[in-house]
């Protein structure tokens, strides 16, 4: 199926946004790596402090991996895309970071570059996870916007179709009333004439509306079904012999109502 120009534009904007977020997070991560590598000194003599830092990084890595797996479980349970980054890669990177911190806790190596690498190895999967969920939320929001746009277009088409059909019914009833005075008397006696004019006026006012809500559609459907039932009642009146000019042909509106249902 060929994409429309609007769909191609939205897809291009989404890709450009993902690329921009990737480069921004990549730049921030690169700056942090350079800062830890060249401008931060870790005092090796304070071994207890280093062990506490490694224990904190180990616990944080394990906890964040657990939360990430819970997030993936929620996403996959809803049968949605998990994001722009492969979740297997992020899981393996987190597992590598956990094993590295565990190795430092066991060996207690006295080298500041080893501990700097541990900090960087914690920040790496953290940035990947952040980018992963940012792209997921962005894609989810775009999908919901497209779904809302499609629903709005369906509402507009169905609403205008109902207004058109109701106007045709109203014109047909007016013609029958003009040719058969007993029909007009029946409608006035039951209060249907006033109600019909009020309903058709309210429906035609929606021709100026561009965005229809579910409440608007429910009102239009109620008015339309009243007009349709009134038309059937008029055609079944004993004084009327139904002929082709008065027969109401059901159009494509029923298909639109099935879509809305």
Q: Do 12 and 106 sit in the same domain of this protein?
A: yes
Dist CA 41 CA 116 (whole Å): 9
Dist CA 244 CA 127 (whole Å): 72
Q: Do 21 and 93 sit in the same domain of this protein?
A: yes
Spell out the per-residue pLDDT of the chain, length 261, in tens.
Answer: 444 554 555 555 555 565 666 677 777 777 777 776 767 677 666 667 788 888 899 999 989 998 888 888 877 666 566 555 678 888 899 999 999 989 888 887 777 888 888 888 888 888 888 888 888 887 778 778 777 778 888 888 899 999 999 999 999 988 888 888 888 888 888 888 899 999 999 999 988 888 888 899 999 999 999 999 998 888 887 766 544 444 444 444 544 555 454
Q: Do 186 and 233 sit in the same domain of this protein?
A: yes
Contacts of 233 (CB under 8 A, 6+ apart): 192
Q: Do 164 and 212 sit in the same domain of this protein?
A: yes
Domains contained in the chain, number: 2
| pTM given for the model | 0.55
Exposed, middle or buried by CB within 10 Å (0-12, 13-18, 19+), for 186?
middle
Q: Do 18 and 144 sit in the same domain of this protein?
A: yes
Rg, the chain, Cα only: 34
- Tell me the CA end-to-end span of the chain in Å, nearest whole number: 25
Q: Do 136 and 221 sit in the same domain of this protein?
A: no
Q: Do 45 and 168 sit in the same domain of this protein?
A: no
User: Which of residues 148, 167, 188 is at a domain's end?
Assistant: 148
User: Which of residues 84, 115, 148 is at a domain's end?
Assistant: 148
The residue range of the domain holding 220 is: 152-260
Q: Do 144 and 156 sit in the same domain of this protein?
A: no
Q: Do 21 and 103 sit in the same domain of this protein?
A: yes
User: Which of residues 127, 148, 169 is at a domain's end?
Assistant: 148
Q: Do 51 and 180 sit in the same domain of this protein?
A: no
Q: Do 174 and 220 sit in the same domain of this protein?
A: yes
């Amino acid at each position: 199926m060929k994409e429309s120009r609007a769909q191609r534009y939205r897809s291009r904007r989404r890709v450009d946004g993902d690329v921009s977020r990737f480069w921004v997070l990549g730049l921030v991560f690169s700056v942090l790596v350079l800062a830890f590598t060249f401008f931060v000194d870790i005092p090796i003599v304070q071994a207890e402090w280093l062990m506490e830092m490694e224990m904190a990084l180990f616990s944080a890595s394990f906890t964040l991996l657990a939360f990430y797996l819970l997030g993936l479980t929620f996403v996959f349970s809803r049968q949605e895309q998990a994001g722009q980054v492969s979740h297997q890669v992020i899981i393996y990177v987190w597992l590598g970071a956990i094993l590295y911190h565990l190795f430092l806790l066991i060996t207690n190596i006295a080298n500041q570059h080893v501990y700097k690498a541990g900090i960087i190895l914690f920040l790496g999967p953290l940035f990947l996870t952040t980018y992963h969920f940012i792209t997921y939320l962005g894609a989810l929001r775009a999908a919901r916007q497209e779904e809302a746009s499609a629903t709005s277009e369906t509402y507009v088409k169905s609403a205008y179709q109902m207004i058109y059909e109701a106007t045709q019914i109203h014109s047909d009833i007016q013609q029958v009333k003009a040719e058969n005075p007993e029909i007009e008397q029946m409608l006035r006696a039951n209060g249907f004439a006033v109600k019909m004019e009020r309903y058709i006026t309210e429906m035609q006012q929606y021709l100026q509306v561009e965005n229809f809500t579910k409440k608007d559609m429910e009102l239009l459907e109620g008015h339309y079904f009243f007009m349709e039932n009134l038309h059937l009642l008029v055609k079944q009146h004993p004084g009327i012999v139904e002929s082709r000019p008065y027969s109401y042909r059901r159009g494509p509106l029923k298909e639109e109502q099935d879509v809305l249902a």
